[in-house]
Amino acid sequence: MKLAMIGVGYVGLVTGACFAQTGHEVICMDIDSKKIEGLRKNEIEIPIYEPGLKDYVKLNVAAGRLSFTTDLNQAVSQSQVIFICVGTPSREDGSADLRYVYEVARSVGQTMQEYKIVVDKSTVPVGTAARVRQLIAKELARRGTNLTFDVVSNPEFLREGSAIDDFMRPDRIVVGVESPEAERIMQELYKPWTDGKFELFVMEVPSAEMTKYAANSFLATKISFINEIANLCALTGANIKSVQKGMGSDKRIGPHFLYPGLGYGGSCFPKDVKALVYIAQTLAYNFKILEATEIVNQAQRHRFILEITRYFQNNLEGKKLALWGLAFKPETDDIREAPSLTIIERLLEMGAELSVHDPEAMKEVQFYFRKHANRDRITYADLPEAALPKAEALIINTEWEVYKNAELNLIKSRMKNPVVFDGRNIYDPAKMREMGFTYFFVG
């Protein structure tokens, strides 16, 4: 089948490469010409860090099944199914900013010459597909044509860091359709998956749109819940690691997303939680659990900062601190809404000097702080251990494997003082104490 991905970010590029891998012919379009130029080079430049993605892209470009363009007209005209994969960031009031989705819808209406299926893959509130339909219809009416088209909702559940695997081996595929023809084409598109016994749920369009928000909001709530339990463990003397095990082994609860820490970040949970709270508010419904989820999430990173500043008796002026982990989670270079950014800003504000490391997200953080008044007080270490000399404390923000497996003796010998603030609970508290560390963790 001939497909177009509009928007070549985490979702568009992964979706395009994975569909190509199953034999579909895919053209990926983006307005960011630098991104597209890089992807079209002989030595393909992948704009994001995502394990396994480069191999998939290379393989499918070489096989002639995957191509890139900045020309929307070309992408639309040569494709039967057009996926909208553009960003839907938060607005100031928490609502999803849908302007990029609508821009694409209008452009599709202006350029299509025959029946097309337009698929919303971006995360969008209930009613967006209906609005996309209206916008396309309006453009067609303006052109005086009576071409037919379908709008489908096919939300994406991949996780950054394991996006390829999530896409190729999904827990489920959700498709919201309005017509038998759209359902038939979506079934055919996902045949390689349904043949492989992965389930495809066909439902009403609004239900598909809501499913994505419901899933993300539930997972975010699970994280905030375990963080509250961890905070209570710290006050009562219970051991959060034991509680986590005891709770997570209950099949009705499950062990996933039950890790206490600095809270969730990234480009999805924060904005999707805010968007669902906003949607509820516009309907005069008070979604109390979700409002609390967001409040707890923000409070979690501030608790951690407070613990650090309290240890230094509110005097961080000139203190040298090492920071490990900048990405919002391991195996990605994404720093959107990462707790590390809040922590760095606050520590800089208090006069600290920071030596930071991350396996993949250093460039992004350097760019983020490029205009910050105190940017000169951040140094970027090329190896984890290079951040440690003279450090009066080590702060861990992201649970990368390289930090989990770090040689604890080496950490101790390199630092000025063996003090660790572990925002992700990656070490064993008893062992740390035994080795002479002053060790703070969540819980």
Ligand X SMILES: NC(=O)c1ccc[n+]([C@@H]2O[C@H](COP(=O)([O-])OP(=O)(O)OC[C@H]3O[C@@H](n4cnc5c(N)ncnc54)[C@H](O)[C@@H]3O)[C@@H](O)[C@H]2O)c1
Binding residues: 30, 35, 88, 123, 157-160, 212, 257-261, 265, 271, 329, 336
Cβ at position 104, least distance to ligand X in Å:
5
Please say which residue, 213 or 304, places its beta carbon nearer to ligand X.
213
Task: Enumerate binding residues for ligand X (CB under 6 A).
Answer: 6-12, 29-32, 35, 85-88, 100, 103-104, 122-123, 156, 158, 160, 267-268
Residue type at position 96: A
Among this protein's residues, is 18 annotated catalytic? no
Q: Which residue positions form the known binding site for substrate?
A: 157-160, 212, 257-261, 265, 329
To the nearest 10°, report the CA torsion of 100, 361, 295, 404. 140
Quote the CA–CA distance of 184 and 180 in Å, as a whole number. Answer: 6
CA–chain centroid gap for 198, Å, is 23
Please say which residue, 231 or 340, places its beta carbon nearer to ligand X.
340
Please say which residue, 60 or 122, places its beta carbon nearer to ligand X.
122
Q: Which residue positions form the known binding site for NAD(+)?
A: 30, 35, 88, 123, 160, 271, 336
Cβ at position 271, least distance to ligand X in Å:
7
Quote the CA–CA distance of 113 and 248 in Å, as a whole number. Answer: 53
Please say which residue, 39 or 308, places its beta carbon nearer to ligand X.
39
Q: Which two tokens stand for residue 183?
A: 């359902």
Please say which residue, 164 or 352, places its beta carbon nearer to ligand X.
164
Cβ at position 97, least distance to ligand X in Å:
10
Please say which residue, 11 or 406, places its beta carbon nearer to ligand X.
11
Cβ at position 45, least distance to ligand X in Å:
14
Q: Strands of 2-6's sheet, edge to edge?
A: 66-69, 25-29, 2-6, 81-84, 116-120, 149-153, 173-176, 200-203
Buried b (16+ CB within 10 A) or exposed e, 361-387: bbebbeebbeeeebeebbebbeebbeb
Please say which residue, 81 or 347, places its beta carbon nearer to ligand X.
81
Q: Select the residue whose beta carbon is closest to ligand X and give its number.
A: 9
Which residues are known catalytic residues? 268
